[in-house]
Amino acid sequence: MNSSNKIGRRRVGGDQVLKGLVAAAAVSIVLLLIALGVELINGSYQSLTTFGFPFLYSTTWDPNHNIFGALPFIYGTLVTSAIALLIGLPVSLGVAIFLSEKAKGHRFVGYVLGSLVELLAAVPSVIFGLWGLFVLSPNLKTYVEGPIHDYLGFLPIFSTTPIGLDYFVTGIILAIMIIPTVAAVSRDVLNAVPNSQREAMYSLGATHWEVIRKSVLPYARSGIFGATILGLGRAVGETMAVTFVIGNSTAISPSLFAQGYTLSALIVNQVAETSTPLNASAIVEIALILFGLALVINIFARLFVVRLTRGTRFRA
Amino acid sequence: MNFNKTGTSGTIIGLVVVLIVVVVAAGAYVALNGSGSTTTITQTSVSTSVSTQTSVSTSVSTQTSTQTSIQTSTSTVTSTQTSTSALLPAATVSGAGGTLVFPLMSTWLYTFSQLQPNVQVNYASVGSGAGITDITKGTVNFGESDAPLTAAQYSALPAGSTLLTIPISASGVVPAYNIPGLSATTHLNFTGDVLAKIFLGQITVWNDPAIAALNPKITLPTNPILVIHRSDGSGTMYAFTNYLSDSNAQWKSQVGTSTTPNWPVGTGCKGNEGVAGCIENNQYSLGPLEVAYVLTNSNLIGVSINYGTVQNHAGNFILATLADITLAMQAGVSRGASVPQGSTPWTGWSIVNNIYNDTTDTGIYPITTFTYALIYENLSASYTGLTSQAQATATVSFLWYCVNQGQAAGANIGYAALPANVVTSDKATLSLATYNGATLLTGS
């Protein structure tokens, strides 16, 4: 009795230490986020007060004359991320469905392919950037963009003569970079779909494709959406690879084959060479916009996921 | 059972890892101690080779014998010593700044560590602007910049401080292009005005009359010019835009001289290598490139990239070589606006400006730029971030090494050596650096 009591007391002490440690870890994340926001606002204060709201929609970025506007970079970030999702999402879903539904009986194939997808996620982005610049960009220019421009050049979105450094190539690189993330998470989500869901459909005489389309995917949609947002987050914030292939031009063009700029590329290009305090402040404001954009995407995604899961629960 | 098994194997793996760490640590300790004494001997022999020719053979041939080496070093000490060859006390020196000088700086870090094994010099290649910020805040012992400080940057320095600016190397900027069908030995001619008009978007095709007039014997293509430039802030672009500003009034008022200009036209590529890649990937492109790239990649010249000549004020079209760049440095410090001495601000001073109107020298390359080391004059002051006299001495000795002995290392990697008059003026500037009132640079 006595000894077991002692052990019990000691356990409680250990529990409390552990509780304190994990609570401190959890709180530190919140504090870090707040500190980050405060520091960004603090650092961009001069730019915020000098340019105000028009900073968001003015198009000139001239450090030599102290004129700063963020529109080309916001536009470029949104366009390239949209292309990345448009191309990356269907491919990722295909990979995930193959791994979870089709390769199920073939453990080895699933294991090798699954590992390779995860390995792709571990490739440093600067390698994608160099590969993009020296391999992907010239090949896409010659074999994809060139023919598209020749036949569909009358459309405004293909009107620029392609040089291989543009929104389109950047979108492709970003798609390749988000595919492993989206595919790996989606696969786990699909694997988590209870077999009863599938079996019920099969018992009704559904084909494999009908099972996936009408039972598995709807059940997993909130998880897939979450995976997509993870991918979008990476696409929006990706820096190094983008800087190599975006073309870094502050002109805004409707053509996907034109050179552009993104928020993250601007930061990495110019943060080391700021000539005035206002210039440094404007770059921090660009970082603030990027931070805000990422927050908005995440909050929006959370709300959407909550709404979707509620829908699923009603259906279940 | 299974859990238990994992636990056992985990413990074994852990033990093996610990064992490996211990062995490696012991090995490293032995190796370091061993190499430490070896390096001392090597150091002695190197410093001997600096002072007297005869003792070189002695020390090299008897390097294995510790006894002889010590004797040699004794004889060296009694003979006249240069300040750089004396063994400095242990110190760590940190520097940060431009990327242009980084390949050369890496060489210097290595060769200096061979000479001075007690001194550890670190250099962070973070960009010129960041280098200036770091020296302003005293987080590094020396800063480095491809452009002199602006008036705003000077006013941000700590109160009562004096910053010394020391040119440590130089580079040139060449107009590089990719025009299929031109031979490797055909170099297009350019003038500053034509380059400015191309980069302003006023000249858009290769067979524009202005380019054709400079290249009467060459059949120019009718294709549009694809303009390439750096996307990141860079000293190379500072020198290039400085030259365009001197050559073209509209460029000067519209764009100006800047490490991060607002380019009217063109595609930005990251880094010098990125610009080279963009040019090589795209036919009919043109972009400003550091001379080091074209000099060290001669196998690519005429294949996927080539570079043109630039007209100097004497009217000659000069194809950049290291010799022409050294000539430009020599002229740059001896003509035009005089080189700022001591604490005089360097704002706006450049080789490009000084030689732009100079017709005395016929062979100078016009787009030549210094890259500068920055240290405080009073190194015992609290704002410097230095903590000891040993550190201050090591900092000054390292910079003097870069300016003096280190210059020879540049030729192989595309950096022109500083001419004698620049070395002399650098020495005078470095002699101003003091610690508690005492000059740190002594000897020859």
Residues in Cβ contact with A296 at an 8 Å cutoff, skipping those fewer than 6 apart: none
Query: pTM of this prediction?
Result: 0.78
Confidence at residue B359, expressed as pLDDT on a 0 to 100 scale = 80
- How far is A117 from A303, CA to CA, in rounded Å? 29
- How far is B403 from B395, CA to CA, in rounded Å? 13
- How far is B26 from B36, CA to CA, in rounded Å? 15
- How far is B407 from B430, CA to CA, in rounded Å? 16
For chain A, give the percent of residues with pLDDT over 70.
93
Tens of pLDDT, residue by residue over B257-314, are: 988 899 999 999 988 888 999 999 899 999 999 998 888 888 888 888 999 999 998 8
Confidence at residue A25, expressed as pLDDT on a 0 to 100 scale = 93
Confidence at residue B338, expressed as pLDDT on a 0 to 100 scale = 81
Ranked by mean pLDDT, the top range of A304-313, B84-93, B261-270 is B261-270
Pairing of the two strands B119-125 and B91-97: parallel
A247 lies within 8 A of chain B by CB: yes
Model confidence at A302, pLDDT cuts 50, 70, 90, reads confident
Model confidence at B222, pLDDT cuts 50, 70, 90, reads very high
A315 pLDDT exceeds 80?
no
A311 pLDDT exceeds 60?
no
- How far is B122 from B106, CA to CA, in rounded Å? 9
Confidence at residue A121, expressed as pLDDT on a 0 to 100 scale = 81
In a 10 Å sphere around its CB, with 0-12 CB exposed, 13-18 middle and 19+ buried, how is residue B366 labelled?
buried
Model confidence at B386, pLDDT cuts 50, 70, 90, reads confident
Task: Tell me the CB-side half-sphere exposure of residue A10, using CA atoms within 13 A.
Answer: 6
Residue of A64, A137, A274 with shortest CB distance to B262 = A64
**Least confident piece of the model among A4-13, A103-112, A194-203, B363-372:** A4-13
Confidence at residue B243, expressed as pLDDT on a 0 to 100 scale = 95
Confidence at residue B21, expressed as pLDDT on a 0 to 100 scale = 57
- Within 8 A of B268 by CB-CB distance, chain A residues are 247-249, 259, 261, 269
More confident residue, B47 or A24: A24
For residue B325, what is the DSSP state? H
Of B429, B406, B374, which is closest to residue B149 (Cα–Cα)?
A: B374
Residue of A163, A269, A277 with shortest CB distance to B282 = A163
- How far is A282 from A205, CA to CA, in rounded Å? 62
- Judge contact between A178 and A237, C-beta under 8 A: no
- How far is B168 from B407, CA to CA, in rounded Å? 8
Confidence at residue B233, expressed as pLDDT on a 0 to 100 scale = 84
B98 CA to chain A: closest CA distance, Å? 9
Comparing alpha-carbon positions, the chain B residue that sits nearest to A135 is B281
User: What rounded mean pLDDT belongs to chain B?
Assistant: 81
A1 pLDDT exceeds 80?
no
B41 pLDDT exceeds 80?
no
In a 10 Å sphere around its CB, with 0-12 CB exposed, 13-18 middle and 19+ buried, how is residue A209 labelled?
exposed
Contact A273 B270 (CB under 8 A): no
Q: How many residues appear in chain A?
A: 316
Tokens of residue B282, six digits: 């795209």
- Within 8 A of B263 by CB-CB distance, chain A residues are 249
Chain B interface mutation, best of A273, A274, A275, A279, highest count of B Cβ atoms under 10 Å: A273
pLDDT mean over B100-119: 92
Model confidence at B57, pLDDT cuts 50, 70, 90, reads very low
A142 lies within 8 A of chain B by CB: no
Q: How many residues appear in chain B?
A: 444
Residue of B152, B153, B231 with shortest CB distance to A248 = B231
b/e code A92-126 from CB counts within 10 Å (16+ = b): bbebbbbbbbebeeeeeebeebbeebeebeeeebe
For chain B, the farthest-separated pair of C-alpha atoms sits apart, in whole angstroms, at 90
When computed from its CA atoms, the radius of gyration of chain A, rounded to whole angstroms, is 24
Distances (CA, A) of B203 to A239, A259, A270, B206: 33, 20, 28, 8
- How far is A166 from A141, CA to CA, in rounded Å? 10
The alpha-helical segments, DSSP class H, found in B158-204 are 192-200
For chain B, give the percent of residues with pLDDT over 70.
80
Tens of pLDDT, residue by residue over A32-55, are: 999 999 999 999 999 999 999 999
For chain B, give the percent of residues with pLDDT over 90.
47
More confident residue, A69 or A101: A69
Across the strands, what pairs with B372? B145, B167
